[in-house]
Amino acid sequence: MDSFDLLVIGGGINGAAVARDAAGRGLSVLLVEKDDLAAHTSSASSKLVHGGLRYLERFELRLVRESLRERETLLRAAPHLVRPLRFVLPDPPGGRPTWLLRLGLFLYDRLAGGSRLPRSRRVARGDPAGAALKPGFNLLDYWDAWVDDARLVVLNALDAAERGAEIATRTELLFARRDGDAWSAEISGGRRVRAGAIVNAAGPWVAEVLHGRLGGGGASRVRLVKGSHILVPRLWDGDHAFILQQPDGRVVFALPWLGRTLLGTTDVTVERPEDAAMDPDEAAYLCAAANAFFARPTMPADVIWSYAGIRSLHDDGSAQAKDVTRDYRLELDAAPGPKLLSVFGGKLTTARALAEEALGRLGVGGARWTADSPLPGGETGMPQRFDWLPEPMAARMSRAYGARLPRLLDGASAVGDLGIHFGGGLYEAEVRYLVEQEFARTADDVLWRRTKLGLELTMAEQEALADYMGR
Protein backbone atom coordinates (compact mmCIF):
# COMPACT_ATOMS: atom_id res chain seq x y z
CA MET A 1 0.00 0.00 0.00
CA ASP A 2 1.41 3.39 -1.05
CA SER A 3 1.73 6.05 1.62
CA PHE A 4 1.64 9.83 1.13
CA ASP A 5 1.97 12.81 3.40
CA LEU A 6 -1.00 14.48 1.72
CA LEU A 7 -3.97 13.30 -0.34
CA VAL A 8 -5.65 16.09 -2.35
CA ILE A 9 -9.16 15.43 -3.66
CA GLY A 10 -10.06 17.51 -6.71
CA GLY A 11 -8.17 18.61 -9.78
CA GLY A 12 -9.53 22.13 -10.10
CA ILE A 13 -7.51 25.27 -9.44
CA ASN A 14 -7.59 24.96 -5.64
CA GLY A 15 -6.56 21.31 -5.53
CA ALA A 16 -3.79 21.83 -8.09
CA ALA A 17 -2.45 24.85 -6.20
CA VAL A 18 -2.40 22.95 -2.90
CA ALA A 19 -0.61 20.00 -4.51
CA ARG A 20 1.97 22.32 -6.06
CA ASP A 21 2.75 24.16 -2.83
CA ALA A 22 2.90 20.96 -0.76
CA ALA A 23 5.16 19.15 -3.23
CA GLY A 24 7.49 22.15 -3.30
CA ARG A 25 7.83 21.91 0.49
CA GLY A 26 8.99 18.32 0.20
CA LEU A 27 5.75 16.49 1.01
CA SER A 28 4.79 13.34 -0.83
CA VAL A 29 1.49 14.22 -2.51
CA LEU A 30 -1.22 12.31 -4.36
CA LEU A 31 -3.88 14.34 -6.18
CA VAL A 32 -6.94 12.43 -7.39
CA GLU A 33 -9.45 13.83 -9.88
CA LYS A 34 -12.41 11.77 -11.05
CA ASP A 35 -12.42 13.42 -14.50
CA ASP A 36 -9.83 15.62 -16.20
CA LEU A 37 -7.97 18.52 -14.65
CA ALA A 38 -10.19 21.63 -14.75
CA ALA A 39 -13.01 19.52 -16.16
CA HIS A 40 -15.72 21.49 -14.37
CA THR A 41 -15.79 24.89 -12.64
CA SER A 42 -12.17 25.82 -13.31
CA SER A 43 -12.60 25.69 -17.09
CA ALA A 44 -15.98 27.45 -17.06
CA SER A 45 -15.01 30.83 -15.64
CA SER A 46 -14.88 34.34 -17.10
CA LYS A 47 -11.13 33.71 -17.48
CA LEU A 48 -10.13 36.73 -15.44
CA VAL A 49 -7.37 37.36 -12.93
CA HIS A 50 -8.84 40.32 -11.13
CA GLY A 51 -9.31 42.06 -7.84
CA GLY A 52 -13.10 42.04 -8.11
CA LEU A 53 -14.15 45.66 -8.48
CA ARG A 54 -17.77 44.87 -7.61
CA TYR A 55 -16.73 43.25 -4.31
CA LEU A 56 -16.05 46.75 -2.99
CA GLU A 57 -19.82 47.34 -2.85
CA ARG A 58 -20.02 44.58 -0.24
CA PHE A 59 -17.02 46.02 1.63
CA GLU A 60 -14.97 42.85 1.02
CA LEU A 61 -11.76 44.85 1.25
CA ARG A 62 -9.65 41.93 2.43
CA LEU A 63 -10.69 39.83 -0.56
CA VAL A 64 -10.06 42.66 -3.03
CA ARG A 65 -6.66 43.49 -1.54
CA GLU A 66 -5.56 39.86 -1.56
CA SER A 67 -6.88 39.35 -5.10
CA LEU A 68 -5.02 42.39 -6.40
CA ARG A 69 -1.82 41.19 -4.77
CA GLU A 70 -2.29 37.76 -6.31
CA ARG A 71 -2.98 39.35 -9.69
CA GLU A 72 0.52 40.82 -9.60
CA THR A 73 2.00 37.49 -8.52
CA LEU A 74 0.37 35.68 -11.44
CA LEU A 75 1.49 38.33 -13.94
CA ARG A 76 5.06 37.61 -12.82
CA ALA A 77 4.70 33.83 -12.57
CA ALA A 78 3.15 33.20 -15.98
CA PRO A 79 3.66 36.22 -18.27
CA HIS A 80 2.87 34.09 -21.32
CA LEU A 81 -0.48 32.97 -19.93
CA VAL A 82 -1.65 35.90 -17.77
CA ARG A 83 -1.91 39.15 -19.70
CA PRO A 84 -3.03 42.69 -18.79
CA LEU A 85 -6.52 43.59 -19.96
CA ARG A 86 -8.05 47.06 -20.20
CA PHE A 87 -11.68 47.38 -19.11
CA VAL A 88 -13.95 50.16 -20.36
CA LEU A 89 -16.81 51.01 -17.99
CA PRO A 90 -19.84 52.85 -19.45
CA ASP A 91 -22.33 54.52 -17.09
CA PRO A 92 -25.91 53.74 -18.19
CA PRO A 93 -28.94 55.73 -17.02
CA GLY A 94 -30.08 54.35 -13.69
CA GLY A 95 -26.74 52.70 -13.03
CA ARG A 96 -24.25 53.53 -10.37
CA PRO A 97 -23.53 57.28 -10.51
CA THR A 98 -20.26 58.34 -12.11
CA TRP A 99 -18.95 59.83 -8.88
CA LEU A 100 -19.44 56.49 -7.13
CA LEU A 101 -17.67 54.62 -9.94
CA ARG A 102 -14.73 57.01 -9.78
CA LEU A 103 -14.57 56.63 -6.00
CA GLY A 104 -14.60 52.84 -6.35
CA LEU A 105 -11.86 52.91 -8.97
CA PHE A 106 -9.77 55.26 -6.81
CA LEU A 107 -10.04 52.79 -3.92
CA TYR A 108 -9.28 49.90 -6.31
CA ASP A 109 -6.09 51.65 -7.43
CA ARG A 110 -5.07 52.32 -3.82
CA LEU A 111 -5.64 48.71 -2.79
CA ALA A 112 -3.53 47.59 -5.76
CA GLY A 113 -0.54 49.45 -4.29
CA GLY A 114 2.48 49.42 -6.57
CA SER A 115 0.81 47.58 -9.43
CA ARG A 116 2.55 47.39 -12.80
CA LEU A 117 -0.80 48.06 -14.48
CA PRO A 118 -2.03 51.56 -15.39
CA ARG A 119 -4.33 53.38 -13.01
CA SER A 120 -7.96 54.05 -13.81
CA ARG A 121 -8.96 57.21 -15.69
CA ARG A 122 -11.79 58.95 -17.48
CA VAL A 123 -11.95 58.02 -21.17
CA ALA A 124 -12.07 61.00 -23.51
CA ARG A 125 -15.01 61.40 -25.88
CA GLY A 126 -14.05 60.11 -29.28
CA ASP A 127 -11.67 57.49 -27.90
CA PRO A 128 -11.79 54.49 -30.28
CA ALA A 129 -12.40 52.22 -27.29
CA GLY A 130 -16.01 53.40 -27.18
CA ALA A 131 -16.68 53.38 -30.92
CA ALA A 132 -18.84 50.25 -30.85
CA LEU A 133 -21.11 51.57 -28.10
CA LYS A 134 -24.40 53.36 -28.54
CA PRO A 135 -24.00 57.13 -28.10
CA GLY A 136 -24.43 58.94 -24.81
CA PHE A 137 -22.28 57.01 -22.34
CA ASN A 138 -19.60 58.53 -20.17
CA LEU A 139 -16.65 56.14 -20.01
CA LEU A 140 -14.07 55.22 -17.41
CA ASP A 141 -11.38 52.60 -17.70
CA TYR A 142 -9.25 50.44 -15.45
CA TRP A 143 -6.98 47.41 -15.80
CA ASP A 144 -7.08 43.81 -14.64
CA ALA A 145 -5.79 40.65 -16.33
CA TRP A 146 -6.92 37.71 -18.47
CA VAL A 147 -5.92 34.04 -18.21
CA ASP A 148 -6.61 30.75 -19.95
CA ASP A 149 -8.30 29.23 -16.90
CA ALA A 150 -7.89 25.53 -17.68
CA ARG A 151 -4.25 25.95 -18.65
CA LEU A 152 -3.58 27.73 -15.35
CA VAL A 153 -4.84 24.62 -13.56
CA VAL A 154 -2.74 22.32 -15.73
CA LEU A 155 0.42 24.37 -15.13
CA ASN A 156 -0.08 24.17 -11.36
CA ALA A 157 -0.50 20.39 -11.63
CA LEU A 158 2.50 20.11 -13.95
CA ASP A 159 4.69 22.04 -11.52
CA ALA A 160 3.47 19.80 -8.70
CA ALA A 161 4.34 16.69 -10.72
CA GLU A 162 7.79 18.02 -11.56
CA ARG A 163 8.34 18.47 -7.81
CA GLY A 164 7.37 14.86 -7.10
CA ALA A 165 3.58 14.83 -6.75
CA GLU A 166 1.52 12.08 -8.34
CA ILE A 167 -1.33 13.52 -10.43
CA ALA A 168 -3.98 10.84 -10.94
CA THR A 169 -6.73 11.91 -13.32
CA ARG A 170 -9.72 9.70 -14.08
CA THR A 171 -9.26 8.48 -10.52
CA GLU A 172 -12.04 8.80 -7.96
CA LEU A 173 -11.89 8.70 -4.19
CA LEU A 174 -14.34 6.00 -3.14
CA PHE A 175 -13.99 6.42 0.62
CA ALA A 176 -11.46 7.17 3.32
CA ARG A 177 -11.47 6.54 7.06
CA ARG A 178 -9.15 7.48 9.89
CA ASP A 179 -6.92 4.56 10.81
CA GLY A 180 -4.61 5.38 13.68
CA ASP A 181 -2.32 8.25 12.73
CA ALA A 182 -3.23 8.23 9.03
CA TRP A 183 -6.11 8.03 6.59
CA SER A 184 -6.80 4.76 4.85
CA ALA A 185 -8.37 5.46 1.46
CA GLU A 186 -9.67 3.44 -1.44
CA ILE A 187 -9.59 4.99 -4.89
CA SER A 188 -10.91 3.70 -8.21
CA GLY A 189 -9.04 0.83 -9.80
CA GLY A 190 -8.95 -1.09 -6.52
CA ARG A 191 -5.99 0.90 -5.22
CA ARG A 192 -5.60 1.56 -1.50
CA VAL A 193 -3.40 4.29 -0.10
CA ARG A 194 -2.55 5.83 3.25
CA ALA A 195 -2.21 9.56 3.79
CA GLY A 196 -1.12 11.65 6.73
CA ALA A 197 -3.70 14.35 5.91
CA ILE A 198 -6.43 15.09 3.36
CA VAL A 199 -7.42 18.29 1.60
CA ASN A 200 -10.94 18.09 0.21
CA ALA A 201 -10.95 20.50 -2.76
CA ALA A 202 -13.76 18.80 -4.66
CA GLY A 203 -15.44 22.04 -5.70
CA PRO A 204 -19.19 21.56 -6.22
CA TRP A 205 -18.87 18.08 -4.70
CA VAL A 206 -17.07 19.27 -1.55
CA ALA A 207 -20.02 18.63 0.77
CA GLU A 208 -20.79 15.23 -0.77
CA VAL A 209 -17.18 14.13 -0.39
CA LEU A 210 -16.92 15.51 3.15
CA HIS A 211 -20.06 13.91 4.53
CA GLY A 212 -20.49 10.88 2.30
CA ARG A 213 -16.98 9.62 1.58
CA LEU A 214 -14.87 10.98 4.43
CA GLY A 215 -17.36 10.73 7.28
CA GLY A 216 -16.64 14.32 8.27
CA GLY A 217 -18.81 16.97 9.84
CA GLY A 218 -18.63 20.74 9.92
CA ALA A 219 -20.80 23.83 10.05
CA SER A 220 -20.08 25.29 6.61
CA ARG A 221 -22.68 25.00 3.90
CA VAL A 222 -22.29 25.21 0.14
CA ARG A 223 -24.30 27.47 -2.15
CA LEU A 224 -24.20 26.11 -5.69
CA VAL A 225 -24.42 28.96 -8.19
CA LYS A 226 -24.41 28.43 -11.94
CA GLY A 227 -22.52 30.88 -14.11
CA SER A 228 -23.12 30.74 -17.86
CA HIS A 229 -21.31 32.37 -20.79
CA ILE A 230 -22.00 32.75 -24.49
CA LEU A 231 -19.57 33.28 -27.35
CA VAL A 232 -20.87 35.51 -30.15
CA PRO A 233 -19.38 37.19 -33.23
CA ARG A 234 -17.03 40.06 -32.46
CA LEU A 235 -18.85 43.22 -31.30
CA TRP A 236 -15.95 45.70 -31.44
CA ASP A 237 -12.44 46.17 -32.73
CA GLY A 238 -9.62 46.13 -30.21
CA ASP A 239 -8.24 44.04 -27.39
CA HIS A 240 -10.04 45.87 -24.56
CA ALA A 241 -13.01 44.55 -22.59
CA PHE A 242 -16.18 46.10 -21.22
CA ILE A 243 -17.95 45.82 -17.90
CA LEU A 244 -21.70 46.30 -18.40
CA GLN A 245 -23.91 47.39 -15.49
CA GLN A 246 -27.35 45.80 -15.47
CA PRO A 247 -30.69 47.11 -14.13
CA ASP A 248 -30.76 44.30 -11.56
CA GLY A 249 -27.50 45.53 -10.03
CA ARG A 250 -25.34 42.81 -11.59
CA VAL A 251 -22.52 43.34 -14.03
CA VAL A 252 -21.81 41.40 -17.21
CA PHE A 253 -18.35 41.13 -18.71
CA ALA A 254 -17.89 41.54 -22.47
CA LEU A 255 -14.47 40.12 -23.29
CA PRO A 256 -12.39 39.74 -26.45
CA TRP A 257 -11.68 36.04 -26.87
CA LEU A 258 -10.45 33.95 -29.78
CA GLY A 259 -11.41 36.64 -32.29
CA ARG A 260 -14.96 36.72 -30.93
CA THR A 261 -16.83 38.23 -27.96
CA LEU A 262 -17.43 36.35 -24.71
CA LEU A 263 -20.40 37.50 -22.61
CA GLY A 264 -20.96 36.40 -19.03
CA THR A 265 -21.71 35.56 -16.42
CA THR A 266 -25.11 34.74 -14.95
CA ASP A 267 -25.89 33.88 -11.33
CA VAL A 268 -28.48 31.13 -10.93
CA THR A 269 -28.81 29.04 -7.76
CA VAL A 270 -28.99 25.30 -8.52
CA GLU A 271 -29.51 22.21 -6.42
CA ARG A 272 -26.94 19.78 -7.84
CA PRO A 273 -23.40 19.94 -9.25
CA GLU A 274 -24.73 18.17 -12.34
CA ASP A 275 -26.98 21.12 -13.23
CA ALA A 276 -24.22 22.80 -15.27
CA ALA A 277 -26.16 23.51 -18.44
CA MET A 278 -27.15 26.88 -19.84
CA ASP A 279 -30.87 27.48 -20.30
CA PRO A 280 -32.48 29.75 -22.91
CA ASP A 281 -33.36 32.44 -20.35
CA GLU A 282 -29.68 32.91 -19.53
CA ALA A 283 -28.72 33.32 -23.18
CA ALA A 284 -31.53 35.87 -23.60
CA TYR A 285 -30.35 37.74 -20.49
CA LEU A 286 -26.78 38.00 -21.76
CA CYS A 287 -27.89 39.12 -25.23
CA ALA A 288 -30.11 41.80 -23.68
CA ALA A 289 -27.20 42.92 -21.50
CA ALA A 290 -25.05 43.44 -24.58
CA ASN A 291 -27.83 45.07 -26.62
CA ALA A 292 -28.29 47.78 -24.00
CA PHE A 293 -24.77 49.02 -24.77
CA PHE A 294 -23.53 47.94 -28.19
CA ALA A 295 -24.73 49.34 -31.50
CA ARG A 296 -24.53 45.93 -33.15
CA PRO A 297 -27.41 43.74 -31.94
CA THR A 298 -26.82 40.24 -30.58
CA MET A 299 -29.47 37.53 -30.61
CA PRO A 300 -29.53 34.02 -29.10
CA ALA A 301 -29.40 32.70 -32.66
CA ASP A 302 -25.95 34.32 -33.01
CA VAL A 303 -24.43 32.21 -30.22
CA ILE A 304 -21.45 30.24 -31.53
CA TRP A 305 -20.79 28.32 -28.33
CA SER A 306 -21.87 28.41 -24.71
CA TYR A 307 -20.72 26.90 -21.46
CA ALA A 308 -21.82 26.84 -17.84
CA GLY A 309 -20.06 26.03 -14.60
CA ILE A 310 -21.15 25.51 -11.00
CA ARG A 311 -19.41 27.66 -8.42
CA SER A 312 -19.35 26.07 -4.98
CA LEU A 313 -19.57 29.20 -2.86
CA HIS A 314 -19.47 29.38 0.90
CA ASP A 315 -23.08 30.02 1.88
CA ASP A 316 -23.02 33.24 3.89
CA GLY A 317 -26.81 33.55 4.05
CA SER A 318 -27.20 36.13 1.27
CA ALA A 319 -30.66 36.17 -0.24
CA GLN A 320 -29.54 36.53 -3.86
CA ALA A 321 -26.92 34.47 -5.65
CA LYS A 322 -25.15 37.59 -6.94
CA ASP A 323 -24.53 38.71 -3.35
CA VAL A 324 -22.94 35.51 -2.03
CA THR A 325 -19.30 36.09 -1.12
CA ARG A 326 -16.63 34.94 -3.56
CA ASP A 327 -14.16 34.65 -0.68
CA TYR A 328 -13.04 31.20 0.39
CA ARG A 329 -13.44 29.41 3.68
CA LEU A 330 -11.17 26.64 4.95
CA GLU A 331 -12.72 24.28 7.49
CA LEU A 332 -10.62 21.91 9.56
CA ASP A 333 -12.55 18.84 10.73
CA ALA A 334 -12.78 18.74 14.49
CA ALA A 335 -12.46 14.96 14.89
CA PRO A 336 -9.25 13.68 16.51
CA GLY A 337 -6.59 11.91 14.50
CA PRO A 338 -5.16 12.73 11.07
CA LYS A 339 -6.30 16.07 9.74
CA LEU A 340 -8.97 16.82 7.15
CA LEU A 341 -9.31 20.27 5.60
CA SER A 342 -12.20 21.17 3.29
CA VAL A 343 -12.17 24.10 0.87
CA PHE A 344 -15.36 26.10 0.36
CA GLY A 345 -15.44 28.76 -2.35
CA GLY A 346 -12.41 30.44 -3.82
CA LYS A 347 -11.54 31.63 -7.30
CA LEU A 348 -8.76 31.43 -9.87
CA THR A 349 -7.02 34.58 -8.71
CA THR A 350 -6.61 33.61 -5.07
CA ALA A 351 -5.78 29.90 -5.39
CA ARG A 352 -2.08 30.34 -4.61
CA ALA A 353 -2.83 32.27 -1.42
CA LEU A 354 -5.52 29.75 -0.50
CA ALA A 355 -2.97 26.94 -0.83
CA GLU A 356 -0.53 28.71 1.49
CA GLU A 357 -3.23 29.20 4.08
CA ALA A 358 -4.43 25.61 3.74
CA LEU A 359 -0.97 24.20 4.43
CA GLY A 360 -0.63 26.55 7.37
CA ARG A 361 -3.91 25.26 8.81
CA LEU A 362 -2.58 21.71 8.44
CA GLY A 363 0.59 22.63 10.30
CA VAL A 364 2.88 22.04 7.31
CA GLY A 365 6.27 23.61 7.79
CA GLY A 366 8.82 24.79 5.27
CA ALA A 367 9.38 28.09 3.57
CA ARG A 368 6.62 29.74 1.59
CA TRP A 369 7.98 29.66 -1.94
CA THR A 370 5.23 29.92 -4.55
CA ALA A 371 4.97 33.74 -4.65
CA ASP A 372 8.41 34.02 -6.22
CA SER A 373 8.48 30.91 -8.39
CA PRO A 374 7.36 30.90 -12.04
CA LEU A 375 4.85 28.45 -13.38
CA PRO A 376 5.99 26.14 -16.20
CA GLY A 377 6.50 28.24 -19.31
CA GLY A 378 7.03 31.43 -17.36
CA GLU A 379 10.64 30.67 -16.44
CA THR A 380 12.29 33.07 -18.88
CA GLY A 381 9.36 34.99 -20.32
CA MET A 382 8.40 34.54 -23.94
CA PRO A 383 10.33 31.96 -25.96
CA GLN A 384 12.52 32.44 -28.98
CA ARG A 385 10.87 33.11 -32.31
CA PHE A 386 9.99 30.25 -34.62
CA ASP A 387 9.63 32.02 -37.94
CA TRP A 388 8.77 28.82 -39.77
CA LEU A 389 5.51 28.45 -37.86
CA PRO A 390 2.42 30.08 -39.41
CA GLU A 391 1.77 33.33 -37.52
CA PRO A 392 -1.61 32.44 -35.93
CA MET A 393 -0.22 29.09 -34.81
CA ALA A 394 2.98 30.64 -33.43
CA ALA A 395 0.99 33.25 -31.49
CA ARG A 396 -1.37 30.67 -29.99
CA MET A 397 1.39 28.27 -29.01
CA SER A 398 3.61 30.99 -27.54
CA ARG A 399 0.76 32.17 -25.34
CA ALA A 400 -0.05 28.62 -24.25
CA TYR A 401 3.44 27.19 -23.66
CA GLY A 402 5.74 30.17 -23.18
CA ALA A 403 9.33 29.11 -22.57
CA ARG A 404 8.29 25.44 -22.81
CA LEU A 405 7.48 25.73 -26.53
CA PRO A 406 10.93 24.48 -27.66
CA ARG A 407 10.29 21.28 -25.68
CA LEU A 408 7.06 20.74 -27.58
CA LEU A 409 8.65 21.40 -30.97
CA ASP A 410 11.54 19.10 -30.04
CA GLY A 411 13.99 20.18 -32.73
CA ALA A 412 11.46 20.58 -35.53
CA SER A 413 12.41 23.15 -38.17
CA ALA A 414 9.42 22.91 -40.52
CA VAL A 415 5.70 22.34 -40.16
CA GLY A 416 6.09 19.01 -41.90
CA ASP A 417 8.21 17.81 -38.96
CA LEU A 418 5.23 18.06 -36.60
CA GLY A 419 3.44 14.96 -37.90
CA ILE A 420 -0.25 14.51 -38.61
CA HIS A 421 -2.29 17.69 -39.03
CA PHE A 422 -5.67 17.26 -37.33
CA GLY A 423 -6.93 20.69 -38.41
CA GLY A 424 -6.95 24.22 -37.00
CA GLY A 425 -3.16 24.24 -36.55
CA LEU A 426 -3.20 21.21 -34.24
CA TYR A 427 -0.43 18.74 -35.10
CA GLU A 428 0.59 15.36 -33.79
CA ALA A 429 3.64 16.79 -31.98
CA GLU A 430 1.42 19.02 -29.83
CA VAL A 431 -1.02 16.22 -29.06
CA ARG A 432 1.88 13.95 -28.08
CA TYR A 433 3.31 16.67 -25.79
CA LEU A 434 -0.07 17.19 -24.12
CA VAL A 435 -0.42 13.46 -23.46
CA GLU A 436 3.15 12.95 -22.23
CA GLN A 437 3.56 16.17 -20.22
CA GLU A 438 0.15 17.65 -19.44
CA PHE A 439 -2.04 14.68 -18.43
CA ALA A 440 -4.32 14.79 -21.51
CA ARG A 441 -6.06 11.46 -22.16
CA THR A 442 -8.92 12.15 -24.57
CA ALA A 443 -9.71 14.37 -27.53
CA ASP A 444 -11.90 16.57 -25.30
CA ASP A 445 -8.97 17.11 -22.93
CA VAL A 446 -6.94 18.43 -25.85
CA LEU A 447 -9.64 20.36 -27.70
CA TRP A 448 -11.56 22.02 -24.86
CA ARG A 449 -9.12 22.36 -21.96
CA ARG A 450 -5.46 22.24 -23.05
CA THR A 451 -6.39 24.23 -26.16
CA LYS A 452 -9.71 25.68 -27.32
CA LEU A 453 -9.30 24.27 -30.81
CA GLY A 454 -12.62 22.51 -30.54
CA LEU A 455 -13.98 25.80 -31.87
CA GLU A 456 -11.83 25.51 -34.98
CA LEU A 457 -11.92 21.82 -35.93
CA THR A 458 -14.80 20.34 -37.88
CA MET A 459 -16.70 17.45 -36.38
CA ALA A 460 -14.95 15.08 -38.79
CA GLU A 461 -11.56 16.42 -37.67
CA GLN A 462 -12.55 16.03 -34.02
CA GLU A 463 -13.58 12.45 -34.67
CA ALA A 464 -10.22 11.77 -36.36
CA LEU A 465 -8.40 13.08 -33.30
CA ALA A 466 -10.58 10.97 -30.99
CA ASP A 467 -9.77 7.88 -33.07
CA TYR A 468 -6.07 8.71 -32.91
CA MET A 469 -6.20 9.09 -29.13
CA GLY A 470 -8.44 6.07 -28.60
CA ARG A 471 -11.27 8.46 -27.72
CATH number for the domain harbouring residue 305: 3.30.9.10
The answer to whether residues 183 and 247 belong to one domain is no
Residue 274 belongs to some domain of the structure: yes
The answer to whether residues 235 and 354 belong to one domain is no
Residue 48 belongs to some domain of the structure: no
Q: What does the pLDDT read at residue 327?
A: 86
The answer to whether residues 35 and 174 belong to one domain is yes
The answer to whether residues 94 and 170 belong to one domain is no
The answer to whether residues 295 and 332 belong to one domain is no
Residue 196 belongs to some domain of the structure: yes
The answer to whether residues 317 and 257 belong to one domain is yes
How does pLDDT run along the chain (471 residues), one tens digit per residue? 899 999 999 999 999 999 999 999 999 999 999 999 999 999 999 999 999 999 998 889 999 999 999 999 999 999 999 999 999 999 998 899 999 999 999 999 999 998 999 999 999 989 999 999 999 999 999 999 999 999 999 999 999 999 999 999 999 999 999 999 999 999 999 999 999 999 999 999 999 999 999 998 776 678 899 999 999 999 999 999 999 999 999 999 999 999 999 999 999 999 999 999 999 999 999 999 999 999 999 999 999 999 999 998 877 666 565 567 778 999 999 999 999 999 999 999 999 999 999 999 999 999 999 999 999 999 975 556 788 999 999 999 999 999 999 999 999 999 999 999 999 999 999 999 999 999 999 999 999 999 999 999 999 999 999 999 997
The answer to whether residues 142 and 229 belong to one domain is yes
The answer to whether residues 27 and 134 belong to one domain is no
Residue 378 belongs to some domain of the structure: no
Q: What does the pLDDT read at residue 226?
A: 96
Number of domains comprising the chain: 3
The answer to whether residues 85 and 142 belong to one domain is yes
User: What's the pTM value of the predicted model, to 2 decimals?
Assistant: 0.96
Residue 462 belongs to some domain of the structure: yes
For 275, the domain range is: 77-146+223-323
The answer to whether residues 233 and 140 belong to one domain is yes
Q: What does the pLDDT read at residue 351?
A: 98
**Rounded Cα–Cα distance for residues 26 and 120 (Å):** 42
Q: What does the pLDDT read at residue 317?
A: 63
The answer to whether residues 165 and 292 belong to one domain is no
